[in-house]
């Protein structure tokens, strides 16, 4: 039997800000101040990215295999939930708290810099430790920093990584493997992902335009998002998680959104809710032609076209392995705030070839308090996750 699971605390770090208050303020303003034109990451020109401008905490006193920007972002998020974690440790013990997080880059940026140094000098720098690139490095770092001794691991399923972490965390608690889970995701900017998506012709020439007839690709962003999932403590519940793997194509989504439809329906079924019970959907909304077409069809199929929707990627970029947790976190902030939606930032040029979703504008509010929010994450290989949270 499913237990009542609550998201009792959340910390967000992304292009909108380095704490929840700044993120929420800039989210409601529809701010795009976090986008910048980067001249270093792309081999063949400049590219817009959504980076974290905040000065990050130093890791100079930590073991060198944890020296990465990814872990600096993680530490900034950890600091904001540290007190809540201490309370959880006092309640259940450090061995009953798991860490399950998602990433797609880990410390690859540091690996890239080390390889450049090797090409110049013939050897890797003394301070470089290969372990910084390992996917497990993120979860290991968070567990070490919070002195947690429960189950610890990292999920890496591309853009659904940290959304999938919520499903795994739910299963762990339901099956008695732990009582509390630190759930989330962290991804930092690096040349590999920027050049890789550019090679796939999936990056935007400017700032991305989700759902627009002019959309031409993504802006890659970076973020950290961590939360505490536990039984019977908090006000916002994890209501349902749906996941599917349609494996339609290595990188392209199923054109009719079959996997996305399955994931959304599963989330509703697990929550014992109907489509009309959902107040707001945070779209995966990458601003790539195929994703936005597929998602519009899938959402219209399950929910119709009246439910309020938006993509946050027009403000924070696509934060890859951190995207799922980040956008669930935005929904968490909205539910705490009351009746405001996250706006859909785009050029307002309607694509007549796809279903016309109810894309909310800056300042739009619900006629009643938001109660249920859904967040979608769709990844390469047809790995789809929909997470439903609410009061």
b/e map of 100-126 (b: 16 or more CB within 10 Å)? bbbbbbbbbbbbeebeeeeeeeeeeee
pLDDT of residue 382: 75
Which helix or strand (DSSP H or E) is residue 86 part of?
helix 69-92
pLDDT of residue 1: 40
pLDDT of residue 254: 72
The residues pairing with 5 across neighbouring beta strands, listed in sequence order, are 231
Token pair in block for residue 277:
């019970």
Question: Hey, is 121 helix, strand or coil?
Answer: helix
Residue 284 contacts residue 378 (beta carbons within 8 Å): yes
Residue 218 contacts residue 50 (beta carbons within 8 Å): no
Residue 180 contacts residue 123 (beta carbons within 8 Å): no
Active site residues: 159, 284, 318
User: What pTM, to 2 d.p., does this model score?
Assistant: 0.96
Residue 378 contacts residue 242 (beta carbons within 8 Å): no
Between β-strands 97-102 and 180-187, what pairing exists: parallel, antiparallel or unpaired? parallel
Mean pLDDT of residues grouped by 10 in the chain (391 residues)? 83 98 98 96 94 96 96 98 98 98 93 90 90 95 98 94 97 96 97 93 96 98 98 92 83 78 97 98 97 97 98 98 98 96 98 97 95 94 92 94
**Matching residue, tokens 């997470």:** 387
CATH number, domain of 318, equals 3.40.47.10
User: Cα–Cα distance between 8 and 360 in angstroms, integer?
Assistant: 27
Residue 17 contacts residue 23 (beta carbons within 8 Å): yes
How many domains would you assign to the chain? Answer: 1
Residue 312 contacts residue 285 (beta carbons within 8 Å): yes
Domain that holds residue 36: 5-390
Sheet holding 280-282, edge to edge: 152-155, 97-102, 180-187, 223-231, 5-13, 237-245, 383-390, 372-379, 280-282, 308-310, 358-359
């Amino acid at each position: 039997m499913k237990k009542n699971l609550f998201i009792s605390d959340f910390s967000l770090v992304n292009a909108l800000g380095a704490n929840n208050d700044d993120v929420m303020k800039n989210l409601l303003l529809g701010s795009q101040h976090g986008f910048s034109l980067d001249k270093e990451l792309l081999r063949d020109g400049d590219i817009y990215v959504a980076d974290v401008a905040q000065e990050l905490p130093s890791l100079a006193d930590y073991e060198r295999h944890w020296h990465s920007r990814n872990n600096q972002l993680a530490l900034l998020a950890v600091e904001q939930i540290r007190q809540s974690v201490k309370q959880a440790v006092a309640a259940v013990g450090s061995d009953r708290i798991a860490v399950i997080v998602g990433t797609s880059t880990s410390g690859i940026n540091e690996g890239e810099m080390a390889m450049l140094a090797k090409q110049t000098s013939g050897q890797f720098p003394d301070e470089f430790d290969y372990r910084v690139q390992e996917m497990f490095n993120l979860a290991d770092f968070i567990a070490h920093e919070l002195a947690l001794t429960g189950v610890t691991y990292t999920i890496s399923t591309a853009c659904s990584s940290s959304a999938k972490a919520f499903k795994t965390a739910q299963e762990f608690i339901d099956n008695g493997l732990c009582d509390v889970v630190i759930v989330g995701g962290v991804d930092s900017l690096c040349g590999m992902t920027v050049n890789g998506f550019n090679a796939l012709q999936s990056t935007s020439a400017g700032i991305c335009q989700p759902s627009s007839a002019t959309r031409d690709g993504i802006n890659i962003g970076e973020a950290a998002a961590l939360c505490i999932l536990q039984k019977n403590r908090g006000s916002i519940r994890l209501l349902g998680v749906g996941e599917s793997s349609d494996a339609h194509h290595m990188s392209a989504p199923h054109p009719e959104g079959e996997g996305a439809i399955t994931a959304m329906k599963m989330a509703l079924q697990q929550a014992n809710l109907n489509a009309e019970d959902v107040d707001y959907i945070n779209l995966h909304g990458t601003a790539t032609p195929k994703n936005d077409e597929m998602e519009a069809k899938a959402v219209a199929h399950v929910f119709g076209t009246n439910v309020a929707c938006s993509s946050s990627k027009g403000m924070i970029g696509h934060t890859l392995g951190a995207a799922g947790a980040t956008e669930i976190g935005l929904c968490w902030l909205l539910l705490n705030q009351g009746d405001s939606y996250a706006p859909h930032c785009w050029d307002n040029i309607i694509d007549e070839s796809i279903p016309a979703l109810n894309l909310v504008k800056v300042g739009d509010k619900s006629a009643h308090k938001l109660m249920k929010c859904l967040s979608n994450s769709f990844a390469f290989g047809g790995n789809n996750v929909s997470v439903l949270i609410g009061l």
